[in-house]
Amino acid sequence: QINQAYNQLYAPYVEFRTVMSIADKLREVGIYVGSHWTRLPWRWFIPNRALFSDVMRFIVLYELGGIYIDVDTLLLRDLQPFFPYECAYRWSILEAFNTAVLRLFPKSHISSTIINRARQTKSSYEFFPSSLHQKHSLPVNFYRLPSAFFDPIWFAVDGGDQSSRQEWKLSSGSVIAFKDPLQQRSEISRRGRTVLDGAFTYHWHASSTSNIFEPGSYLHQWGEFLNNQIVDA
């Protein structure tokens, strides 16, 4: 059972929606001339789940506003400091955006710019995160925040920060390097649950699918902490 503190503080602000219900709503609206995303080909949304996600996050945030977060992301801190801004984060060492965490206002000029260009070019790759800065003249108030805020070991994994890779004793190969610190005992877990105290999220890039975590691992430490804080015994 969820304890009384959760019901009082958080439950009133939580609303669950399914992707299919949103897709049905967009399909219904999209058939009318004049809807904002008219002429976005629906074949984009069927065969490729990653592409579906790239497109949908901008359409949904245009309509509703809010923060989109990839499902393969562990929340470490309150994201409210970012609420006043429209932002994503830097794609590792590249001069590009990563939209695994994306904050936009409803009816945003930023999302409108990208959606309109996609309608003109008939290309779903207008929404591809790492190409946003290349294909669009985006407003200066669309902030590209440091990768370390949301993806704290990415520099180390991709070789942009070799000293950190050695310090964290990461495995070779990007998939393993993102997964192991979460599910297994590692240098990160050895330093404790708060070792990434400057980060707001940990993005593991779809490299971990297991629900079983090694005792003492980073995720196991967080699970034990949250069980004690939120769930009644």
Is position 85 within any domain? Answer: no
Same domain for 132 and 17? yes
Same domain for 138 and 161? no
Residue at a domain's end among 110, 142, 174: 142
Residue pair 17/68 in contact (Cβ under 8 Å)? The answer is no
Same domain for 120 and 164? no
Same domain for 49 and 160? no
- Number of domains within the chain: 2
**What residues make up the domain containing 126?**
4-65+100-142
Closest CA to 131 of 85, 91, 73: 91
pTM for the whole structure: 0.79
Per-residue pLDDT reduced to its tens digit, 30-85: 433 334 444 556 555 545 667 778 888 988 898 889 999 998 898 999 999 999 99
Q: Give the chain's end-to-end CA distance (angstroms, integer).
A: 8
User: Token pair of 27, please?
Assistant: 């399909």
pLDDT at 9 > cutoff 80: no
Is position 119 within any domain? Answer: yes
Per-residue pLDDT reduced to its tens digit, 179-214: 777 888 888 899 998 899 899 999 988 755 566 788
Per-residue pLDDT reduced to its tens digit, 85-107: 999 999 988 888 999 999 999 99
Mean pLDDT, residues 174-178 = 72
